[in-house]
Amino acid sequence: MKDINLNHTIFKNSITSICNRNSMNHNDETQQEPATTSSTNHNDETQQEPATTSSTNHNDETQQEPATTSSTNHNDETQQEPATTSSTNHNDETQQELKNQHEQDQFKILFLQNQIQELEKKNIHNKLRAQAEIDNIKKRSILDMEKTYKFSLEKIIIELLPIIDTLERAIILEKNNCSSKMIEGIALTLKLFIKTISKFGVMIINETNVPFDPLKHQAMSIVNTNNIQENYVIEIMQKGYMLHGRLLRPAMVSIVQKK
């Protein structure tokens, strides 16, 4: 019986000891859990701090980014405003220069057009003047040729005039001394001379009772009479000759003067 009680006591003590041990272990675990939790929390906080810091930095950066962007945009706008103003002024100056250049070009065009018109008028005037000069030269050339042709025999006819004068005097002087046939021959020769030179435009000045013309007559004597008007030709002493209106030799005449 004692042995049973002893065993029972030992068993009871053993159970009590085990219980106490378990209780102690449980207390230790209970005490360790907050520590572990605290440690865990501390580790988590430690791990979260960089995250928080990173997040904070990220938020700061996120907040700073718009500020920076806004500042950058503001700076860009601030920098762009003078550039835009300068560009606008430059464009205005360029447009003004182009406008001035255009006005100058228009003025030059008008000036050149006026010069062209003046030159055209001057050219037309010069052309007409040149054409008139050409026509005048042609006319003068024709006249010179005609004169050359007309008066080419002038010297020859002048040399023949003394022969004609001799034949005329011979007829007058020898009219009573020579036979009629000789006189007729001399008269026929004279007539042939006169006819021949007349074909080339020779005219004889032998009219009487006409006004004295100093261009055709040469006064050799004066006759006082009332039968004919004063300064009229009363007698032809020597015939005169003209070739196509040009005087070859004036007629020697006697003119009338009133008593």
Domain extent for 230? 203-259
The whole-number pLDDT of residue 179 equals 72
Instruction: Kindly tell me if the per-residue pLDDT of 186 is higher than 70.
Output: yes
**Domain-embedded: residue 208:** yes
Instruction: Kindly tell me if the per-residue pLDDT of 188 is higher than 70.
Output: yes
124-132 contacts, C-beta under 8 A, 24 or more apart: none
Averaged pLDDT, 43-54: 38
Q: Do residues 256 and 230 lie in contact, with contact meaning Cβ atoms separated by under 8 Å?
A: yes
**Domain-embedded: residue 247:** yes
Averaged pLDDT, 28-35: 43
Instruction: Kindly tell me if the per-residue pLDDT of 48 is higher than 50.
Output: no
Sign of the alpha-carbon dihedral angle for 149, 155, 156, 160:
positive
**Domain-embedded: residue 235:** yes
Q: What's the CATH code of the domain at 255?
A: 2.30.22.10
Total of domains in the chain: 1
Averaged pLDDT, 179-203: 88
The whole-number pLDDT of residue 86 equals 66
**Domain-embedded: residue 220:** yes
Residue scoring higher pLDDT (81 or 114): 114
pLDDT category, 85, cuts 50, 70, 90? low
pLDDT category, 10, cuts 50, 70, 90? low
Which of 1-15, 101-115, 182-196 is least confident? 1-15
Collect all residues with Cβ–Cβ distance below 8 Å to 132 and sequence separation of at least 6: none
**Domain-embedded: residue 72:** no
The whole-number pLDDT of residue 71 equals 44
Per DSSP, the chain holds a count of helices (H) and strands (E) of: 3, 6
Beta bridge partners of 249: 241
- Residues 143-171 pLDDT 10s: 888 888 888 888 999 999 999 999 988 88
pLDDT category, 9, cuts 50, 70, 90? low
Averaged pLDDT, 232-249: 93
The whole-number pLDDT of residue 241 equals 96
**Domain-embedded: residue 151:** no
pLDDT category, 182, cuts 50, 70, 90? confident
Averaged pLDDT, 68-76: 46
Instruction: Kindly tell me if the per-residue pLDDT of 210 is higher than 50.
Output: yes
**Domain-embedded: residue 78:** no
Q: Do residues 162 and 193 lie in contact, with contact meaning Cβ atoms separated by under 8 Å?
A: no
**Domain-embedded: residue 187:** no
- Residues 121-141 pLDDT 10s: 888 888 898 999 999 999 999
The pLDDT mean for the chain works out to: 74
Instruction: Kindly tell me if the per-residue pLDDT of 32 is higher than 60.
Output: no
